[in-house]
A and B are shown apart, each in its own frame.
Chain A
């Protein structure tokens, strides 16, 4: 593929998708916009390299998302990031309420998202924000469809607990 053609097609893709990619990546990073921007930059650079093959297969978005999700999981697994996580048990939490409470702020939701393990957060974002099917999500996360279902169900339950008025009041007085 001539470079000019690759450049034109790639530029059109970036213009159409970049803002949405960063916005969605912000959910993966629980509001860390700098990390979200880094992830998208990494993914787009690798997309440019693979452009002819990915374009032929018409899998641009899936390719970018696979890189973003994997890069994010690699990032949070980096040795230097393991500090602060060595606690023997999570604090005891009340039973999950039936629904998310009203009147929540964005900061509270982002803090609750940040409390989810990265793989679980990725499952929620891919399924419920990007509206991917269970099958597509499982393929992107390299896990079984059953794992996707259980991870999203557990994530919803944990978010309901983390966002229940008692917990929110305790952590965001």
Chain B
């Protein structure tokens, strides 16, 4: 047998096949639900934008664009945690409310993991596992104690030997002046960045940490990869 097409046909020959009756009702219902959700989300976004446009100036004394110079506005912008936006200029604009739920980065304490030097870790979190393949951190109360499961955990690893560069459509997020790409997939944020020597390092963080791209990049900027670190496969 020489032909790949024959081989693929063979792969399906004794596989359980799909239901031959393609009833569109289920797909139609799912499509309508998704469309409805998208429209609601868009409507909520527009409503929030309109409310912000109306309510924020009123809250700040109705001074409109000049409110940034108002003492109350200035005070509110400085009330944010000092670590929240280290790389962004503070221009007097308020930082998002979600920062209040953010888990702070604190200096790494304790023995460094094999393969990596890490400067920062989330406050109150612990190292759940560290091997030359991956460093895994989680809150002490994490339900899943298996360090091989990365869901809702902070993970540092070298990019798989079989993976290519991160997709071009991911957002650019340089780390230490080198190329980096950022994406959010479900409840996981992924920052893949290049280090000296051209290797890519992957940092996965749960959205529940409350970090934005800049905070994730700050964590990543403190990661050094040592020779003991090894790439996985797949």
Contacts and interface: CB of A to CB of B under 8 A. Distances in A.
Contact of B5 (A14, A102, A128): A128
Contacts of B168: 142
Contact of A88 (B14, B162, B230): B230
Interface string B1-22: 1101111101111111111101
B51 interface: no
Contacts of A45: 27, 30-31, 33-34
A106 B8 contact: no
Contacts of B12: 23, 26-27, 106
Contacts of B13: 106
Interface of B is mostly: loop
A124 B27 contact: no
Contacts of B153: 79
A102 B1 contact: yes
Interface range on chain A: under 10, 10 to 19, 20 to 34, or 35 or more? Answer: 35 or more
Interface string A26-67: 110011010011000100111111010000000000000000
Interface residues of B, number: 54
A82 B14 contact: no
Interface of A: 7, 10-11, 14-19, 22-23, 26-27, 30-31, 33, 36-37, 41, 44-49, 51, 74, 77-80, 82-88, 90, 99-102, 104-107, 109-110, 113, 117, 119, 124-125, 128-129, 142-143, 152, 156, 159, 163
